[in-house]
Amino acid sequence: MRIYTITQWFLFFYIYSFIGWIWESAYVSVLQKRFVNRGFLKGPFLPIYGSGALCVLAAALPVWRDPVKTFFVGMAAATVLEYITGAVMERIFRVRYWDYTGKFLNIHGYICLASALCWGVMSLILTRWVHFYISELVCAIPQPYASWAVLVITPVFTADFVTSFTVAFHLREFLEQNGRIQEELKKLLEKKNFLEDSIQEAGEKARVQIAQELRELYMKIGEQKERMYRVYTKSVRGLLRRNPTAYSNRYRETFSELKKNILENWKKIMEDRF
């Protein structure tokens, strides 16, 4: 087995992230019947595939001559990575960017049997065929050129990751703020129901005051919601378009409403443009 340099491992990560992006974008585009620039990042990289490939290579290359061991070792390494990544991302952003809930033998919706088996098959394909050619290509690049390639790609990748992370955090802020607004609305409705029960006993002056207070609260909540949509819509639109199956367990209704409004507005903009 070859010993690779740090630079070569970086190139493997970027190459497999790019291959993963091609696969996912093609697959989801066929399902959606439109081009989908798939993934968490704006650029043509899916880090989960790059990280998965590196995990598989590190774990399965030492046993690549044994297909059974390669299958199970690669499957285990990639599946553990997928579970950890899914759980951590949902913990941080309050959104699931992929979900296997409802799939056979899934664990918390982050992984499932079908996904694990796919990782096993991909481990065999990767270690026995694909990586041979990728390795030959990368190892044929003179070290200075390989280093320059990494120095050029890494800042671009990092900037894309930081930008996408910020947008995803904006989405979390939107969901949390909207959740607080929903709580305010709930309290407002409870207050309204209470006041309606007692309004018969109130005088005309009290009824006017109550009605005015309710109108002001409704207007305040409406303004908050409109301001939130104006601030966050542009930044999160691309993220939602790249992840059409994403959803939030904690803020399910709010997230569904946001997706519907943003994607419908985008569709209208594109129709008006063309």
Please tell me the distance from the alpha carbon of residue 45 to that of residue 176, in angstroms, as a whole number: 29
Instruction: Give the per-residue pLDDT at 158.
Output: 97
Integer distance in angstroms from the first to the last C-alpha of the chain?
A: 55
User: Would you say 65 and 73 are in contact if contact means Cβ atoms under 8 Å apart?
Assistant: no
User: Would you say 118 and 100 are in contact if contact means Cβ atoms under 8 Å apart?
Assistant: no
Question: Structure pTM?
Answer: 0.81
So where are the chain's domains? 6-161, 166-273
267 burial type by CB count under 10 A (0-12 exposed, 13-18 middle, 19+ buried): exposed
Give 140's strand partners.
Answer: none
Instruction: Give the per-residue pLDDT at 210.
Output: 64
Per residue of the chain (274 residues), what is the pLDDT tens digit?
A: 678 999 999 999 999 999 999 999 999 899 888 888 888 899 999 999 999 999 999 999 999 999 999 999 999 999 999 999 999 999 999 899 889 999 999 999 999 999 999 999 999 999 999 999 999 999 999 999 999 999 999 999 999 999 999 989 888 888 887 777 777 777 776 766 666 666 555 555 566 666 676 677 677 767 766 766 666 666 677 788 788 778 888 888 778 877 777 666 655 544 444 4
Instruction: Give the per-residue pLDDT at 206.
Output: 61
Please tell me the distance from the alpha carbon of residue 23 to that of residue 214, in angstroms, as a whole number: 53
Strands (E) located in the chain: none
Q: 62 to each of 56, 76, 123, 241, how far by Cα in Å? A: 10, 15, 12, 40
Instruction: Give the per-residue pLDDT at 248.
Output: 87
User: Which positions ≥6 away from 86 have C-beta within 8 Å?
Assistant: 96, 97, 98, 109, 110, 111
Instruction: Give the per-residue pLDDT at 273.
Output: 46
Structure tokens at 249: 């367990």
Query: % helix / strand / coil in the chain, to the nearest 5?
Result: 80, 0, 20
